[in-house]
C-alpha cells in the first residue's frame, strides 16, 4: 500500500510547499525504496501497526493524524461505484474531493477492483517520525496491485490524459503519485493542500461529489483494452496465455516485451489482421477462446487469471471445473450477463 508496506519499505517525503507553487506538475518529491517482491497489504489501524514511535501529530501534508478507526473525522464507509476503500477517508471536503477522484478514476481511467483499493491506515513513515498521508485519511490508492510501487508506465497515454483531466478539475488540491519526480507511485492520490485551504473548500463546493456540469461524458469504449510493447499487468498475462492457446511460444510474465509483440504480430498475420503488434479490439475479438466446464489448457488459464483479477481466488491450473464455473457465474451476475458459466465474447469483454 504505497508507503504502508510492512518492514520492507522505506519512505521519505519532502516538506509540502505553499499553495500555488506548481503542485500539479509533481513539484516536490517522494522517494520510496521497496525491497523484495510483491505488494504486502498491511493491517489497518493502530492495532495492525504495533507499537508506534513518538511522532508528529500531523501527516506529511499537514493534516492531523487519525489514531482510531472510531474517530468522527473518519468515513469508514467511503466507496466509489460499489468498491470500498478499507479504512475509509477523512470526512468533509477531503472526502468530497477524493470521492470525485475515485469515481472519475472508475468511469474514465479503469474500473476499480474490489480488494485492490485502500484508504486510511495509521502508520509512520518507516525510519522517521512523520506520519504517512494515509494516517490522516487524506490519501487513497486505486487498483494498487495493477500499478505497483516504483513502476512507471502502468497506464496508457489515453489513461494518463484522463488522470490529468481529473487533476485539473481538482485545481491542484490533489497530487498523483505518477507525477512524482522521483520513484513513481501510480496507484496513489493524495490531498495536496493544508487544512483550512480556501482552494480546497472552493473545489469541494464545485465538485459536490459529482462531475462538473461542463465535464463531457467519458468516450465510448469497445470493451477491450489496448495493449502494446511496454504494457504490463494481469491483462498482459491473460493475453500471453491466449497467445499460447493459439500456438505461440511466449513467456507468461505480465510484461509486454519484444517476444510478446512478435507473437502478437504472428497471430495477427494468421488471422488476417493488421500486423502492428498492438492488441486492440480487433485482435482481442479474434484471439479469445470460449471456455466452459470441461475445457482445459492455456485458454482456461487465461480465464482463471482474468477471474482472479476480479477477486475470485482460483488456482490457475488450466482445468475448468466446478470452482471455475461458479466463479464465472458469480462474475456474470455482477455484470448483469447471462449467468451460464460459459466464458464467451460478452463475458471476455467484461473480464478484461
Point out the least confidently predicted range of 18-27, 52-61, 149-158, 331-340. Answer: 18-27
Cα dist. 242→16, 51, 236, 263, 290 in Å? Answer: 46, 48, 10, 11, 11
Integer-rounded Cα Rg, in Å, for the chain is 21
Q: Which residue has the cell 469541494?
A: 204
pLDDT of 127 reads 57
Distance CA 133, CA 121 (A): 9
Lowest-pLDDT choice from 87-96, 211-220, 249-258, 292-301: 211-220
Task: Report the pLDDT value the prediction gives residue 312, as an integer from 0 to 100.
Answer: 87
The mean predicted confidence, pLDDT, of the chain is 81
Q: Say if residue 21 is exposed, middle or buried (CB neighbours under 10 Å; 0-12, 13-18, 19+).
A: exposed
SS3 327: helix
| Residues 6+ away with beta carbon under 8 Å from 260 | 229, 236, 239, 240, 243, 250
Is the model's pLDDT at 82 over the cut of 90? no
| Confidence check: pLDDT of 315 > 80 | yes
Average pLDDT over residues 53-63: 72
Portion of the chain with pLDDT greater than 70, in percent:
79
Q: What was the pLDDT predicted at 302?
A: 96
Q: How far is CA 90 from the centre of its chain?
A: 20
DSSP-derived pairing of the beta strands 188-191 and 74-75: unpaired
Average pLDDT score over residue span 122-146: 84
pLDDT at 11 over 60: no
Which structural domains are found in the chain, ordered by start?
A: 2-207 (no CATH), 234-351 (1.10.101.10)
Task: Answer whether residue 92 shows pLDDT above 80.
Answer: yes
Tallying the residues shown for the chain, one arrives at: 352
pLDDT at 207: 81
> CB neighbours of 323 closer than 8 A, spacing ≥ 6?
314, 315
| Predicted pLDDT of residue 216 | 45
Residue 260's pLDDT is 96
Q: In the prediction, which pLDDT does 47 show? A: 34
Enclosing H/E stretch for 188: strand 188-191
Residue 171 has pLDDT above 70, yes or no: yes
Above 90 in pLDDT, residue 39? Answer: no
Q: Could you report the per-residue pLDDT of 325-342, keeping only the tens digit for each?
A: 999 999 999 999 999 999
Percent of the chain residues topping a pLDDT of 90 = 58
Q: What is the mean pLDDT of residues 293-299?
A: 95
Write down the pTM of the prediction. Answer: 0.50
pLDDT at 69: 87
Give the pLDDT score at 51: 41
Task: Tell me: pLDDT of 44 over 70.
Answer: no
pLDDT at 74 over 80: yes
C-beta of residue 239 within 8 angstroms of C-beta of residue 260: yes
Alpha helices in 231-276 (DSSP H): 234-245, 258-270
The pLDDT assigned to 138 comes to 96
pLDDT digits (tens, 9 = 90+) for 174-233: 999 999 888 899 999 999 999 999 899 898 888 874 444 444 444 444 578 999 999 998
Amino acid at each position: 500500500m504505497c508507503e504502508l508496506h510492512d518492514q520492507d519499505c522505506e519512505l521519505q517525503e519532502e516538506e509540502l510547499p505553499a499553495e500555488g507553487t506548481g503542485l500539479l506538475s509533481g513539484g516536490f518529491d517522494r522517494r520510496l525504496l521497496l525491497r523484495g517482491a510483491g505488494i504486502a497489504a498491511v493491517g489497518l489501524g493502530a492495532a495492525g501497526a504495533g507499537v508506534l514511535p513518538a511522532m508528529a501529530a500531523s501527516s506529511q501534508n499537514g493534516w492531523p493524524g487519525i489514531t482510531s478507526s472510531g474517530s468522527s473525522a473518519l468515513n469508514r464507509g467511503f466507496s466509489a461505484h460499489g468498491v470500498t476503500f478499507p479504512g475509509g477517508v477523512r470526512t468533509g471536503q477531503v472526502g468530497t474531493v477524493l470521492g470525485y477522484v475515485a469515481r472519475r478514476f472508475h468511469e474514465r481511467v479503469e474500473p476499480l477492483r474490489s480488494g485492490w483499493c485502500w484508504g486510511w491506515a495509521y502508520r509512520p513513515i518507516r525510519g522517521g517520525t512523520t506520519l504517512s498521508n494515509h494516517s490522516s485519511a487524506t490519501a487513497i490508492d486505486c487498483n494498487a496491485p495493477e500499478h505497483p510501487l516504483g513502476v512507471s508506465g502502468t497506464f496508457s497515454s489515453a489513461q494518463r490524459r484522463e488522470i490529468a483531466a481529473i487533476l485539473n478539475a481538482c485545481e491542484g488540491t490533489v497530487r498523483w503519485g505518477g507525477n512524482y519526480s522521483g520513484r513513481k507511485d501510480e496507484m496513489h492520490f493524495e490531498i495536496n493542500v493544508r487544512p483550512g485551504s480556501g482552494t480546497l473548500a472552493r473545489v469541494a463546493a464545485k465538485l459536490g461529489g459529482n462531475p462538473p456540469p461542463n465535464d463531457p461524458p467519458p468516450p465510448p469504449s469497445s470493451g477491450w483494452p489496448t495493449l502494446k510493447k511496454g504494457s504490463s499487468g494481469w491483462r498482459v498475462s491473460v493475453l500471453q496465455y491466449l497467445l499460447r492457446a493459439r500456438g505461440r511460444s511466449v513467456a507468461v510474465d505480465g510484461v509486454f516485451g519484444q517476444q510478446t509483440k512478435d507473437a502478437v504480430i504472428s497471430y495477427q498475420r494468421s488471422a488476417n489482421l493488421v500486423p502492428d503488434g498492438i492488441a486492440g479490439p480487433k485482435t482481442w475479438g479474434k484471439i479469445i477462446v470460449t471456455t466452459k466446464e470441461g475445457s482445459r489448457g492455456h485458454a482456461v488459464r487465461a480465464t482463471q487469471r482474468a477471474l482472479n483479477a476480479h477477486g475470485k481466488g482460483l488456482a490457475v491450473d488450466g482445468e475448468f471445473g466446478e470452482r471455475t464455473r461458479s466463479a464465472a457465474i458469480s462474475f456474470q451476475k455482477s455484470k448483469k450477463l447471462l449467468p451460464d458459466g460459459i466464458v464467451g465474447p460478452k463475458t471476455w469483454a467484461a473480464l478484461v
